[in-house]
Amino acid sequence: MISWGWTIVISLAWMFLVNISFSVLVFENKKKKYGLGTVFWCLLTMIVPVIIFVFANIMCRVYEVNETVYYTIMGIMAGIFIGGPILTVLGRSLLLLLLYPPKRMAAYARKEVGSFRRFSRGKSSFSRYYADKHAKEQAYIAEQILIIERKLGFLYRMRSQRGKKRFIRAIMEKNRKELPQISGWRYQTVLAGTCRAEMAILLIFDDGEESPVYLYWPKKVFTSEELLEEDREKLALVGKFRQITMTGRLIYIFMCIERYLVSLYPDRDWTPVATRMWNRTKERERWREGTPGDLYREVVPERIMRFYKHGYGYEELNPMVFDKQLSKEDYTLIRGLYEGISRGDPKEEINQIVGLPEQLIYQADLKMYHFDECDQLTIESILKAEIILKNHGIELPDHSLVSRFSFERTADEMPDKEKDRYFGFGVDATELSILLNPGNAGLKERLIGDSKCRTQEQESQKNEEKEEESMIREISKKDLPDVVRVIRASFQTVADEFGFTEENAPRFTAFATTENRVKTWMIDQNRPMYGFFEEDRLVGFYNLYLVDDGCELGSLSVLPEYRHRGIGKKLLDDAVDRAKARGLGKMILSIVEENTVLRKWYEENGFTHTGTQKFDFFPFTCGYMERDLRQDST
């Protein structure tokens, strides 16, 4: 007879297989929960056959059925119990593959997620994974892949990568119209952790950006050439620091932080920061994050400046953050170091690099100082620090300086009993500090000198870019309204100075210039017209009225807020150069004779006074000036 133990085993196997059959293959409803009918049917098919099987077993025992007949009956029933769900799973799997091919599943996933416009307004479950410029597009594709994974369950996971790629291709084709900003895509090997590779989709956008969508398909064999540049840098760091203890890596990060502070803010004494920083490596057991009197936390800008910005003083900060272990003098000193540099925002660059050790130590404490976890954390922290230094052109520390903090590593995982040796606690490495070791004063001075040179180069580059943004070019029809604005605003200051109004001087330039008049200059009189543009805004203007062998300079004007910056001189020189290029012999102009300051300015720029004339419609005398362009050439 079949023992009651085997009866229980067969019954549990049946219930398990039936549960798989329903939980994996039955599609969920819109609310992501099983319907009441589905749950009832699942329980019915799980419990009723088990009751029948147990009842048949009891009846065979009670009526002492022939042993051969008994085993035949039990074998048939056990076969039905075990084989039924298996055949159900296989049958439904085949049916599902036929009813839901890749294109149909892609359409289903796209319908579930909705339009990209609606999706981008909501909060995605992938939002924390993507921080790129195109994070919403990345999350939009990732959500659709996740829906297919959930719906197909193990039918998707058991497929080869070639089979999965059919679904990926269908999703990308389905979203071609919805995401026109994606110009293309390809499969890309990315680094997960420190030396584990996975597959991802690399989205290529119209603006030239490339952003990965992680697929979490492991790739056992890969080369560095297959990786993105940032992953290649990470892999190179793994090779350099593979044999270095965790504390040795922390020391390297401290060296990066010192170079950052000294290079960018050389006028401040960072010794208090360095002292607390290097004392951290002397801990003989652990780095001790969160203990009373935590030294390193005191020098993280976020810990002091964020509270200071929100109105918290020393009295609130000391017990709240530092367990009453920070002295008033140290608080004032450290706060003074960061004033004008940081406001305590975690996104600030100085917070990102100075806060790296605190984040690393905190995460190591959460991971219970597990070697493999900290191995990845330290490499990622070093990579962040190096990227920040490279962005500023700051020389990286020599990796060989931490080579003495090494250990023999023969396996990827280290036994827990040897953990402390691989972390290398209790190291005094202040001789590597450029702030605490006088022997490194030369390196410190060189970093400061390099920083000053970079600052000068950056300022020079900014000035060049600003000059490029400020340019003189020919006026087009779309600029005519701006021309009227510049002329009126410029000549209005003259009217205000000498008391001209629209009543006593209606023909004065400040009042008589209209868009039709300027259009006549351009179209009917064919006057060359040029403007001075700063950041694509018209701020200065002049025109040339060609007459016989010369020209008349008209309406030379600069907006009042842009005067005394040499713009008028640049416009005048440009007008003279263009007149000479046309082979003209002289340039004439008219001014308000009473405006002696303007007359003197023109005289300083090569013009001579030739006479005056009084008109009835002007309450001032017109003065005339001339410049001989041929004489300039000789």
Q: How far apart are CA 200 and CA 149, in angstroms?
A: 15
- 74 vs 551, more confident: 551
SS3 content of the chain, % helix, strand, coil (to 5): 60, 15, 30
- 221 vs 378, more confident: 378
Which residue type, as a one-letter code, is found at position 30? K
Q: Token match 């936390």: residue?
A: 297
Overall average pLDDT of the 555-559 stretch: 95
Closest CA to 195 of 245, 231, 141: 231
3-state secondary structure string across 30-97: CCCCCCHHHHHHHHHHHHHHHHHHHHHHHHHHHCCCCHHHHHHHHHHHHHHHHHHHHHHHHHHHHHHH
- Note whether residue 112 is domain-resident: no
Q: How far apart are CA 152 and CA 509, in angstroms?
A: 78
Task: Answer yes or no: do 439 and 586 share one domain.
Answer: no
pLDDT-derived band at 480, boundaries 50, 70, 90: very high
**Is residue 240 predicted with pLDDT exceeding 80?**
yes
Counting residues of the chain whose pLDDT is more than 90, the rounded percentage is 31
Closest CA to 6 of 102, 66, 68, 77: 77
Q: How far apart are CA 244 and CA 552, in angstroms?
A: 78
**Is residue 417 predicted with pLDDT exceeding 50?**
no
Paired with 182 in beta bridges are: 205
**Is residue 491 predicted with pLDDT exceeding 90?**
yes
Closest CA to 199 of 185, 183, 209: 185
pLDDT-derived band at 214, boundaries 50, 70, 90: confident
pLDDT at 380: 85
Task: Answer yes or no: do 84 and 155 share one domain.
Answer: no
**Is residue 221 predicted with pLDDT exceeding 70?**
no
Overall average pLDDT of the 75-101 stretch: 66
pLDDT at 81: 62
Written as one string, the DSSP assignment of 170-217 is HHHHHTTTT-TTEEEEEEEEEEETTTEEEEEEEEEETTS-EEEEEEEE
* Weakest-pLDDT range from 148-162, 508-522, 586-600: 148-162
* Weakest-pLDDT range from 17-21, 71-75, 214-218, 303-307: 17-21
pLDDT at 239: 81
- Note whether residue 233 is domain-resident: no
Task: Answer yes or no: do 481 and 625 share one domain.
Answer: yes
**Mean pLDDT for the chain overall:** 81
Final residue before a domain boundary, out of 455, 490, 521:
455
- Note whether residue 326 is domain-resident: no
**Is residue 27 predicted with pLDDT exceeding 50?**
no
Task: Answer yes or no: do 11 and 75 share one domain.
Answer: yes
318 CB neighbour count, 10 Å cutoff: 18
Q: What are phi and psi of 573, to 5 degrees?
A: -60, -40
Task: Answer yes or no: do 497 and 623 share one domain.
Answer: yes
Overall average pLDDT of the 133-147 stretch: 87
Task: Answer yes or no: do 588 and 534 share one domain.
Answer: yes
**Is residue 52 predicted with pLDDT exceeding 60?**
yes
Q: How far apart are CA 428 and CA 283, in angstroms?
A: 9
Task: Answer yes or no: do 249 and 374 share one domain.
Answer: yes
pLDDT-derived band at 276, boundaries 50, 70, 90: confident
Q: Token match 């084709």: residue?
A: 173
**Is residue 117 predicted with pLDDT exceeding 80?**
yes
Task: Answer yes or no: do 30 and 138 share one domain.
Answer: no
pLDDT at 197: 80
- Note whether residue 346 is domain-resident: no
Task: Indicate the length of the chain as a whole number.
Answer: 634
Total of domains in the chain: 4
- 118 vs 513, more confident: 513
pLDDT at 163: 84
pLDDT-derived band at 394, boundaries 50, 70, 90: very high
Q: How far apart are CA 283 and CA 133, in angstroms?
A: 41
Task: Give the tens place of pLDDT for each residue, 279-323.
Answer: 888 776 666 544 544 667 788 888 888 877 677 788 888 787 777
**Is residue 422 predicted with pLDDT exceeding 80?**
no
pLDDT at 292: 43
Contact 537, 573 (CB under 8 A): no
Task: Answer yes or no: do 415 and 551 share one domain.
Answer: no
pLDDT-derived band at 464, boundaries 50, 70, 90: low
pLDDT at 20: 53
**Is residue 588 predicted with pLDDT exceeding 80?**
yes
Q: How far apart are CA 521 and CA 515, in angstroms?
A: 10
pLDDT-derived band at 517, boundaries 50, 70, 90: very high
- Note whether residue 252 is domain-resident: yes
Task: Answer yes or no: do 626 and 515 share one domain.
Answer: yes
**Is residue 374 predicted with pLDDT exceeding 90?**
no
pLDDT-derived band at 30, boundaries 50, 70, 90: very low
Closest CA to 281 of 246, 333, 238, 321: 246
pLDDT at 226: 75
Task: Answer yes or no: do 387 and 491 share one domain.
Answer: no
Task: Answer yes or no: do 572 and 612 share one domain.
Answer: yes
Paired with 471 in beta bridges are: 533
- 376 vs 445, more confident: 445
Closest CA to 474 of 379, 571, 557: 571
- 459 vs 275, more confident: 275
pLDDT-derived band at 25, boundaries 50, 70, 90: very low
- Note whether residue 440 is domain-resident: yes
**CATH number of the structural domain spanning residue 561:** 3.40.630.30
Overall average pLDDT of the 220-242 stretch: 77
- Note whether residue 424 is domain-resident: yes
Overall average pLDDT of the 388-414 stretch: 81
- Note whether residue 106 is domain-resident: no
Range of the domain at 222: 122-227
Dihedral angle computed from the Cα positions of residues 104, 105, 108 and 109, in that order, rounded to the nearest 10 degrees = -140
Phi/psi zone of residue 564: left (φ > 0), alpha (ψ -120 to 50 degrees), beta? left
pLDDT-derived band at 343, boundaries 50, 70, 90: confident
Q: How far apart are CA 274 and CA 634, in angstroms?
A: 67
Final residue before a domain boundary, out of 426, 455, 484:
455
pLDDT-derived band at 252, boundaries 50, 70, 90: very high
Q: Select the highest-mean-pLDDT range: 132-141, 157-166, 462-471, 522-531.
A: 522-531
